[in-house]
Amino acid sequence: MLAVVCLPFGLTRRNGVPRLAAVRLPALSKPRIPVALSGQDNCTDDDQRARSDFLATSKSASRELVASHGREADGTNWLMWKRDLAVLTVICAAFAGACSPAPAAQPSPTRGRTAFPSTTASATVSPAATATASPGVRYVAIGASDTVGVGASDPTNGSWPAIIAAHLPAGSPPYTNLGVSGSLALQAVSQQLPGAIAQKPNLVSVWLAVNDLNATIQPASFADSLGQIIDGLVQRTSATIFVGDVPDLRAVPVYAGADKARLFAGIQAYNDAIAAIAAKNPARVKVVDLFTGSAALVSTGTVSQDGFHPSDEGYQLIAERFAIAMRASGIPLRP
C-alpha cells in the first residue's frame, strides 16, 4: 500500500505561490489503519519505522517551508502558507496517533443511574404504613347528609369529615367530601364510588346506613351494596377505609313514636352486616364504633333542631370517634 499525503512543499511555483506536491511515503506493512485497544499498541515494527520516517520528512518540510517563504511572502500568500502548514501539522498528528495506545476507557458518568424514576415497578406496602410514612394524607369521605354536615351551623367546616380534615398532617391536599344528602348505599355505588377511586386516596371514611334503615332496606340488600363500595375501594385504591356503624337511635327525637324493639333489632342487624364486611379485609377496613354509649350522648345539645341530624356538638362527638379509630390504625392526625 502506498500512502500519499499532500504537503505544501515549495518545489514549483506559479505566480509566486507554492504549488502542492505529492510526497510518496513507504507503505505500512499491513494494508489497514491500526486501531489500538485500551492500553495496547497494535502497530508492528515496520509500521513504527514508517511512522518515524514520515514524521522526520514532514518536520523537515515544515522547516523548509517556513525558512523559504516566511520572509518574502506578502500578506495574502503568507496566510495561505500558514493554512498549508496547519494542514501538514494536523496530518502529522493524525498519523502519529494512529499507532499510539488508545486511552483507557472511562466509565460513563451516568452509567448505573436511572435518568427518570420508574413508573412500572412498585413495592407492596401496607396501606396504613403508606399513610403514616407519607408527608400528607389524601382523604375522601363517602356518605349521606351526616357526611355533608346537615344540621351544623357551618356545614362546610362543621361536618364531622371537615373536622377530621382539619387535623390531617401538614402537606395533605384538601380533602374531598362526596357525601350526598339522602343517599342510600346502593346509590352511592354509582354516585360516589367512582369519584372516590379517581382521587387515589390513602384514607377513606364511609358512613352509609341510617337512610337504608329508615327505608326498611333488608340487611342483606344493604350489605350487598355496602360490600360493593368497600370491595371497590380495596381493589382499586391503597386506602385504609373506616366504616361507621349505626348509633343507638332509640333516644333520637325523630324516633320517639317508633317501635323501639324493632328499631333496635334493625340497628343490630345492620351493624352485624358492617362488621362482617370489614372482617373480610381486616388490614384495610376498620369499623368505627358509633353505637357503644351513644344513647347517653343524645340530648338537645347533640341533636339539631330538626330532631334527627347532629348539631355542632354532635358532629364533634362523631369526629372524635372516627379520629380515635384512625389514630389507632396509624393515621397521623394532628392534635
pLDDT at 112 over 70: no
pLDDT grade for 50, boundaries at 50, 70 and 90? low
Q: What is the CA radius of gyration of the chain?
A: 43
pLDDT grade for 67, boundaries at 50, 70 and 90? low
Q: CA–CA separation, 226 vs 271, rounded Å?
A: 12
164/25: higher pLDDT:
164
Q: How many domains does the chain have?
A: 2
Rounded to an integer, the average pLDDT of 25-36 is: 41
Residue 107 lies in a domain: no
Q: CA–CA separation, 153 vs 38, rounded Å?
A: 80
Residue 114 lies in a domain: no
Q: Are 219 and 84 in the same domain?
A: no
Q: Are 185 and 304 in the same domain?
A: yes
Q: Are 306 and 167 in the same domain?
A: yes
pLDDT grade for 300, boundaries at 50, 70 and 90? confident
Residue 261 lies in a domain: yes
Q: Are 179 and 285 in the same domain?
A: yes
Residue 115 lies in a domain: no
Rounded to an integer, the average pLDDT of 194-219 is: 98
Q: Are 67 and 149 in the same domain?
A: no
CA distances for 198 relative to 178, 186, 238, angstroms: 12, 19, 12
14: containing domain: 3-98
Q: Are 75 and 145 in the same domain?
A: no
**Torsion (CA) 289, 284, 192, 157 in degrees, nearest 10:** 50
Q: Are 132 and 94 in the same domain?
A: no
Q: Are 140 and 87 in the same domain?
A: no
The 10s digit of each residue's pLDDT in 155-166 is 999 999 999 999
Q: Are 86 and 165 in the same domain?
A: no
Whole-structure pTM over 0.75, yes or no? no
For the chain, percent of residues with pLDDT exceeding 90: 59
Q: Are 215 and 294 in the same domain?
A: yes
The least confident of 67-76, 171-180, 278-287, 321-330 is 67-76
Residue 103 lies in a domain: no
Residue 271 lies in a domain: yes
pLDDT at 17 over 70: no
pLDDT grade for 51, boundaries at 50, 70 and 90? low
Q: CA–CA separation, 140 vs 137, rounded Å?
A: 10
pLDDT grade for 200, boundaries at 50, 70 and 90? very high
Q: Are 61 and 132 in the same domain?
A: no
Q: Are 155 and 300 in the same domain?
A: yes
Residue 118 lies in a domain: no
Residue 274 lies in a domain: yes
Q: What is the pLDDT of residue 155?
A: 97
